[in-house]
Amino acid sequence: MATSFRLTERASGLLLHPTSLPGPHGCGDLGREACRFVDFLAAAGQRWWQMLPIGPTAEDGAPYSGYSAFAGNPLLISLEALAEADLLTRAELRFDDDARPRTAAQRGTHGSDRVDYPRTIAFRRDRLRRAFQRFAAGGGFERADLRRFIAANADWLGPYALFCALRRAHNDRPWTVWRRPRVEPRGGGLRAAGLAEEFGFTLFTQFMFAQQWHALRRYARSRGVGLIGDIPIFVAHESCDVWLHPELFDLDHRGQPRTVSGVPPDLFSRTGQLWGHPQYRWTQHRATGFAWWVARFRRMFALFDAVRVDHFLGFVRAWAVPGRARTAEHGRWIRVPGAELFATLRRRLGPLEIIAEDLGLLTPAAAALRDRCGFPGMRILQFAFDAGGEYHQPHNYPRRCVVYTGTHDNETTVGWFERLRREHVRSRRARRGARAGRRVGERGPAESAYKRVLRYLGTSGREIHWDLVRLALASPADTAIIPVQDLLGLGNEARMNLPATQRGNWQWRLLPGQLTPGVARRLRDLTETYGRLPSERG
């Protein structure tokens, strides 16, 4: 059985968020389909399963703006597992999604290719409350394993349960307008405040999440598969973390952000990107010995074998935008003590398997911090064919990096290639019209990205997704990660996220049977051909 996983091992894996798994209850979860996906990874010779952040989300399912940097998402709890534990009845598991339009091939299967988050969250929350009531009535809170779980996670679990209880009592309004004073979760204060049931419900859901998560992780390890998590650099203002530790964030006297996160204007956006998370008060973090960060990373490495750190560039400098701004145009750079932070993490936690998400304007200082820490950066094949894309071309890769065909923020490979083809056709038609007026000796337009792709890959583009999978696996990069949408050759209808948009994101799902044995064999053959097949399996 593989018991350790290293990013320096030549290996590969797939990117798929658990909500994108098939299943009968509106979204994927940690149950049987998760284990079946692990089986697929093992059959395909893959070492890694990479996910997006797994914290509790709002109604839109956005994983990068969760309510806690420490808690698990109750949406991922397998209801079938609760039924097997006699906490739900089989009749209560029925989730009718037949109202959704479906093709003939899809009818009769469990699940849809999109997550309807409001409907799914309402259904799952109702079933979790029924399970909680039976758990409490059956003496579940007297279980020794629950007591051990609460004690082992006391630093974040009690405060998070209290945050959820207070939020529920205030009809899910922001914590900045709460009138009720803070309540200590002991000495009968919760009962007196009418918060005991909601507090207990959160303890129950986090306990069930933990049990199912660690069962899945044990199963993955038994098949030689490691899990890669994701740490967003910032946390949402409407989160337990900001409510509990306002002194660690740049807030005014009313608890509102004085400065927020974003990136400045560039070639892709005239007004920049306004993310809106509160900025950190780094002097306060340094004064505590980065205690919150140490706890956060410790928690993540209790759940995952490796972690991708989102927006690694922000640990050198961050673009701080006034809290009330509507765009990111008028901000300022602030220095961030990233070198001190990661030195502290290494001293407190030991060597860490971290992927530095260094996409964007990689400054010399950010590259130096990444390399000093020994973290692999990211290379994206879709960026390799842009003008100036040499950094992302595989012949320039060091071994110490992680190559992706695309990320959750990219178009799918098929969608991206089709867009390049359409742009090439439009440009060629325009050139024909302008050719007659060109002076003798005048150079024509530069080669299109579409033609650069075909020339670099030596392909017709008929199976462009497999061309890029092959290119990633053949590259010098120690680690290659393929989004499942690219493995299956899906178009942009399967895109996970379109940055700077608010609707339609995070919803894509696999349909049952899409990951076939034939796909596994083909991927395994390529994995073996390019020396990425793990040497041992459980």
Neighbours of 512 (CB within 10 A): 16
Q: By three-state DSSP, how is residue 11 classified? A: strand
Q: For the CA atoms of 400, 339, 318, 15, what is the dihedral angle to 10 degrees?
A: 30
| Residues 193, 266: Cα–Cα separation, whole Å | 51
Q: What is the rounded distance in angstroms from the CA atom of residue 123 to the CA atom of residue 118?
A: 9
Supply the angle between the helices 464-474 and 517-529 in degrees, to the nearest 10: 40
How many distinct helices (H) and strands (E) make up the chain? Answer: 17, 12
Q: Which of 353, 357, 478, 486 is catalytic?
A: 357
Residue type for position 321: V
Catalytic residue among 310, 353, 411, 467: 310
What would the DSSP string read from start to end of 107-155? TTSS--SB--HHHHHHHHHHHHHHHHHHHHHTTGGG-HHHHHHHHHTHH
Q: Which is catalytic among the residues 9, 329, 409, 418?
A: 409
357 is catalytic: yes
Taking each helix axis from N to C terminus, what angle separates 117-137 and 196-222, rounded to the nearest 10 degrees?
A: 100
H helices of 46-100, where?
79-84
**DSSP letters spanning 475-533:** SS-SEEEEEHHHHTT--GGG----TT--SS-S-B-PPTT-S-HHHHHHHHHHHHHTT-S
* Tokens coding 451: 């033609």
CA–CA distance, 19 with 57 (Å, rounded to integer): 12
Task: Compute CA 434 distance to the chain's CA centroid, rounded to the nearest angstrom.
Answer: 46
3-state helix, strand, coil in the chain (%, to 5): 45, 10, 45
Residues paired with residue 49 on neighbouring β-strands, in sequence order: 14, 227
Is the Cβ–Cβ distance between 491 and 415 less than 8 Å? Answer: yes
Sheet holding 479-483, edge to edge: 354-356, 306-309, 226-231, 48-50, 11-15, 479-483, 401-404, 377-380
Residues 136, 200: contact at Cβ < 8 Å? yes
Catalytic machinery residues: 310, 357, 409
